[in-house]
Structure 1
């Protein structure tokens, strides 16, 4: 049974009252589905409900995930895990970065987020309850990671073309030793272009298949924010994900990009850089020399 947001209107005028009333007659819904449905019923305006929820979620996740890296930078014990050990971000750098990021969020991203609900509904995205199965959401998110990584690789690589780098991408490279909050420290143009991969993948999917729930997109965006912030953290730990998933990029991969200003253009994975021979760093250079030596040896034979 699919309950659209418009059919969940109930008489109580408080969120708690609506939740209690809705729970009496929708026992088949789990607690998260009831909370979700109650929010839309309480707001009485789907565009407003989605807009507030989306923006609050984005800010809470972005700054909430950045906070641990700010704390880590203050603890000397973790300096041994800093990829560029001598470059610890100062409080002034963190604050300057936060101001530009907040300005971007309120001037560039907020209007887009506010228009998200009508766009999602127009494309056929589901917003009601019940939620889709977790296996369905997992599959969709895996597809989005692959699609976004492809878009990010080519768009990011294009950003390093001379004129685009000077006029657009150079702002993001202000910090040669990145830190978590700097993930979205970029020009408005770059935010929109690279962000198109994050938002465009789900939109393209629902247009092609007709099946996607907005909750799946929320979870995807949260995971993408985690990935972007962690990739900019500047720390390499023994438990970093790429040690267990060799094709995962992570901070070790992206930090080299900021340090050398070239190569390692991918976001989540390493395969596009490997296939296109744009890997950067000492190990990549060594592997490149070894491949070249093997080719030359074969020619001699």
Structure 2
């Protein structure tokens, strides 16, 4: 990446940042930090790979950490959905070890290959950054696309042979907790992970308009969504109370408890449209419809 009139590394990262700032006063601090990173690394694949993997680990375990404390200290018990099933520290630790192994053996190679694949599709890593509006509408599209992929692939994974061979591992915990969001077999990690990475890559390939920062913000929000939906806690301020079509923890917790229905990740509409909701209202609606069909048949 060209910085000023030179691509030569300027010693430490902060030396590089000072060098970048001399020639790029029109950029904001975040953009100068970004340019300095790529200039200092002198290798775009390495720069993106390290940044992507570290971001994923810090966000995943950082977001799961509060739930570990809440469960371990017995806080907020009144809001625990399955109050009689609190994960022990041993369960949390065993889950963390499994997830870490998966991150280093399954996800790290994919993250490392992300930059060359994304560049081939036209993903931008340059500055200035896209506008907040551009990032917002693109991320909204990614949420819808990922939810659609997740619903149909997740539902397929509940088919007998696929469930036993692949998806059963994820259902080891009938009362989920934050760390268990990515507790899954390597095959499932790749199948459902494609729903997070695939939509941005497809969007970029079609439109040629996507910045890697947008991709990062999308992944951060997706990780937050996945961890929160596995948290096992339902609050009066939970998002679905304000956005009725949002799924949330109460939607996914039932899926783990009953092993059926509620296949979507972020939204409720696919479960509603295809009648795979597992809620009191949905069960009542099915009983009423079944009663109507029985009375017509007589």
**TM-score of the superposed pair, with normalisation by structure 1:** 0.94
CA displacement at 1:27 relative to structure 2: 1.2
| 1:208 aligned residue | 206
Residue number among 157, 160, 177 corresponding to 2:158 in the alignment: 160
Residues 77/50 of structure 1: CA separation in 2 closer, same or farther (3 Å cut): closer
CA displacement at 1:295 relative to structure 2: 7.3
Count residues with an aligned counterpart. 295
Aligned ranges 1:233-252 → 2 under 5 Å: 233-252=231-250
CA displacement at 1:284 relative to structure 2: 2.2
Alpha-carbon separation, structure 1, partners of 2:128 and 2:193? 29
Residue number among 223, 226, 233 corresponding to 2:224 in the alignment: 226
Residue number among 89, 110, 128 corresponding to 1:91 in the alignment: 89
CA displacement at 1:25 relative to structure 2: 1.5
Alpha-carbon separation, structure 1, partners of 2:65 and 2:269? 30
2:53 and 2:111 in contact (8 A); partners too: yes
Which residues of structure 2 form unaligned runs of 5+? none
2:246 and 2:266 in contact (8 A); partners too: yes
| 2:170 aligned residue | 172
Residue number among 133, 136, 151 corresponding to 1:135 in the alignment: 133
Alpha-carbon separation, structure 2, partners of 1:142 and 1:160? 27
CA displacement at 1:294 relative to structure 2: 6.7
Alpha-carbon separation, structure 2, partners of 1:291 and 1:215? 48
2:3 and 2:20 in contact (8 A); partners too: no
Alpha-carbon separation, structure 2, partners of 1:134 and 1:72? 33
1:10 and 1:18 in contact (8 A); partners too: no
CA RMSD of aligned residues (A): 1.6
**TM-score of the superposed pair, with normalisation by structure 2:** 0.95
| 1:49 aligned residue | 47
Which residues of structure 1 form unaligned runs of 5+? none
Alpha-carbon separation, structure 1, partners of 2:9 and 2:217? 31
